[in-house]
Structure 1
Amino acid sequence: MKTTNVIELGLNQFAGTPSKVAIVGAGCGNVELLTLKAARYISNADVIIYDSLVCEDILTLASNRCVMHFVGKRCGQPSAKQDEINALLVNSAKKGGDVVRLKGGDPNVFGRGCEEAIYLAEHGIKSEFVPGVTAALGCAASAGIPLTHRGVARSVTIVTGRVFDNTGHSWRSLLMAETTLVFYMGKEQSESIAQGLLDGGASVELPMAFISNGARENQQVTYASLGTMGEIARRIQADGPTLMIVGEVVNVGLALSELIEGIGEANSLITTTTVETLSFKANALSFAKSLF
């Protein structure tokens, strides 16, 4: 049986004028989490404008003729301004050819994808979105934590940790539903986030997990509770991005991890570093057993 190489499939959608830009999600930290459509677009691109969270293996899919522009933004470091990125997108598109704007995760989950699409449209240039595996999904899966679970969490709320309305009403509204809270870019604000949730009525024992470099070979998972969250965040030594998952689903994930370890099939990707791991696992197993 002949094997089809999806990377080599033709890309006819970009033919014609005006130029069309694909705003592509590169997924979460691992080339295998890239969608087939995204891989095909990347391999056929004449120009790729990419962010810092795009893994190097994904960039190797580009052809030798492709012009690469790095416009990554990292906290506390010099980076390209959004106006400069917008101008680069328009100029690249007007030169013709296939242009890919490559973003870590999904382009429309804290990725400014639609902002750039609107700017392009205002300049007469069409674009399309190609979805990617966002950090909430990729990190939770690689850490073995379900974002929803029967009897525990029936919804997921994704929140940016950088800018948040710090009123008591806002924190209470996050906690009203049976929801899992996922904070992007929030490790540096861990103490204030924990205090806000506590002021909103959350339990000091509510479990949470920090996932650094999620879905990558150097992934690190660190467990805490709201009461210890700020202190443990300061101990985490990780250069890459850190996602925070808050909710009882963390206990469910820990219970699963303990059961898997018991049959010798632990996920080698997960590195757990926390002073509270043993007590968390004991509590997690007890919690999980109470659900069934």
Structure 2
Amino acid sequence: MAEHPAYPVGLRLTGRRVVVLGGGQVAQRRLPALIAAGADIILVSPEVTPSVQAMADAGEITWHQRPYEEGDLADAWYALIATGDTEANTRASAEAERNRVWCVRSDDADEATAWTPATGHSEGVTVAVLTTDARGRDPRHTAAIRDAVVEGLRDGTLVAPHHRTRTPGVALVGGGPGDPDLITVRGRRLLAEADVVIADRLGPRDLLAELPPHVEVIDAAKIPYGRFMAQEAINNALIEHAKQGKSVVRLKGGDPYVFGRGMEELQALAEVGIPCTVVPGISSSISVPSAAGIPVTHRGVAHEFTVVSGHVAPDDERSLVDWPALARLTGTLVILMGVDKIGKIAEALVAHGKPADTPVALVQEGTTAAQRRVDATLATVAETVRTEDVKPPAVIVIGEVVKVGPTATAPRE
């Protein structure tokens, strides 16, 4: 048997009996995939790990709390033998052979009739890697090949052309706070498949350089529009390219729905019947403070955090923010798009009762190579922004959590 390679095949186990012997770490790793496959799973083991116990408690598997007994593999389509009892494993393997049940053994692969490949998944594709030479099996090498293929599919460096007609449409992709490594796997894959990318200046710009030459990249900031027509012009550009049968990605900074006008774009597309996918992104309101060593919540310090747009000053009649209520909160306040309004914001918070010595941190160009952090207080933040020349984009964190992180610095007096 060792002279011949294994024959790869995909088992369709939905509703079919699978018997797992042993409830330890091997079973804990293998059970989720069997559950996802829809198998009728019978687990036989005197003891199980807490995670396996949770699967049994949730009704995902049926657990017989006892050692293996002859006949346990009756009517099984597939068996995983992973007990710590070699003698029991041998007997169970022999039963599987007699009953023609494909069987994996965790303790002795050469005595098994089946091997478990190193598997990974990427958007509807399952990658399964087996070592063909039984005498030279190297699980680490197999797993490394699996990881390389899956990572290539996910980040777009390994792109297989589609041989079926793609449905044109738009994907609103949250690109995260700026570091290209912080975009989601799905967002990066959609970028790799795009015909047109309409990008914000706050999106992860480094990713644009990785796009194939045929991809049309449009800077949303340079789309011609009147002063109050910016969003309408972007909507029109999305619609125009999608109607041409192209796959369009609207690459936005942070998350599309956190001050990103993502819903406005989705509504415009829906009105003309263009399908749209929304891919969430890591919001700068959480990630940028984290990158600067600031937890937005911390036990004993802050039990809540509030994210506010600072593009409209507190004394502006267009403001929808209840600043007196914010001043009364004891948790963390995160201000986005508020660098040029931080003076008036600080004045409003202090006027409504927030202590003037409340710590403030400004994190400019967060998660990028140009990131820098400047600390102040509500009393000094306006002057600090001027003297330190803090420029957008910057995330402003107000609250005691500013003093918690390992990189906290003394506020400027």
**TM bracket (short chain):** 0.7 to 0.9
Counterpart check, 1:242 vs 2:394: yes
Looking at structure 2, the residues matched to 212 and 138 of structure 1 have their Cα atoms a distance apart, in angstroms, of 12
1:139 maps to 2:288:
yes
Structure 1 partner of 2:230: 81
Residue of structure 1 equivalent to 2:105: none
Paired with 2:384 and 2:314, the residues of 1 have a C-alpha distance of: 24
Shift of 1:79: 10
2:364–2:371 Cα contact (<8 Å) kept:
yes
CA RMSD of aligned residues (A): 2.6
Is 1:212–1:221's contact at 8 Å kept on the other side of the alignment?
A: yes
Aligned equivalents of 2:265, 2:366: Cα separation in 1: 26
**Aligned partner of 2:207 among 58, 62, 69:** 58
Cα pair distance change 1:173/1:9, threshold 3 Å: farther
State whether residues 363 and 371 of structure 2, in contact with CA within 8 Å, keep that contact through their aligned partners in structure 1: yes
CA shift for structure 1 position 80: 7.5
The offset of 1:16, in angstroms, is 4.9
Q: Aligned partners of 1:273, 1:66: CA distance in 2, in Å? A: 47
Q: Following the alignment from structure 1 to structure 2, what is the Cα–Cα distance between the partners of residues 10 and 179? A: 48
The answer (yes or no) to whether the contact 1:11–1:41 under 8 Å persists in 2 is no
Equivalent residue in structure 1 for 2:356, among 201, 204, 217: 204
Aligned match of 2:184:
35
Partner of 1:181: 333
Helix, strand or coil: the match of 1:60?
helix
**Gaps in structure 1 of 5+ consecutive residues:** 259-271, 277-292
In structure 1, the partner of 2:217 is 68
TM-score normalised over the length of structure 2: 0.57
Distance in 2, Cα, partners of 1:274 & 1:247: 12
Q: Which amino acid in 2 is paired with 1:173?
A: A
Q: Relative contact order, CA 8 A, sep 6+: which one is greater?
A: 1
Match of 1:257 in 2: 407
What is residue 369 of structure 2 aligned with on the other side?
217
Instruction: Give distance in 2, aligned partners of 1:138 and 1:11.
Output: 34
Q: Distance in 2 between matches of 1:31 and 1:257?
A: 23
* Aligned counterpart for 2:262 among listed residues 113, 127, 143: 113
After TM superposition, the score normalised by the length of structure 1 is 0.80
**Partner of residue 324 from structure 2, selected from 172, 179, 197:** 172
Is the Cα–Cα contact under 8 Å of residues 358 and 377 in structure 2 kept in the other structure?
yes
8 Å CA contact 1:212, 1:240 repeated in 2: yes
Which amino acid in the other structure matches residue 100 of structure 1?
V
CA distances 1:33-78 after superposition (whole Å, capped 9, x unpaired): 11111111111101101111123311123221111111128xxxx8
Q: Match of 1:241, as an amino acid?
A: P
Q: Given that residues 44 and 62 in structure 1 are in contact (C-alpha distance below 8 angstroms), is that contact kept between their aligned partners in structure 2?
A: no
Q: Match for 1:54: what amino acid?
A: G
**Any idea what SS the aligned residue of 2:210 has?**
coil
- Greater Cα radius of gyration, structure 1 or 2: 2
Match of 2:46 in 1: none
Confirm or deny: 8 A CA contact 2:178 2:205 kept in the other structure: no
- Kept in 1: contact 2:377–2:412 (CA 8 A): no
Q: 1:162 to 1:29 in 2, by over 3 A?
A: same
Give identity over the alignment, percent: 37
Structure showing the higher helix proportion among its residues: 1
The one-character-per-residue Cα deviations of 1:100-137 (angstroms, maximum 9, x if unpaired) are 00111111111101100000000111111111111112
Say whether the 8 Å CA contact 2:201–2:221 is kept in structure 1.
Answer: yes
What runs of 5+ residues in structure 2 fail to find an aligned partner? 1-141
1:143 aligned partner, one-letter code: A
Q: 1:172 to 1:239 in 2, by over 3 A?
A: closer
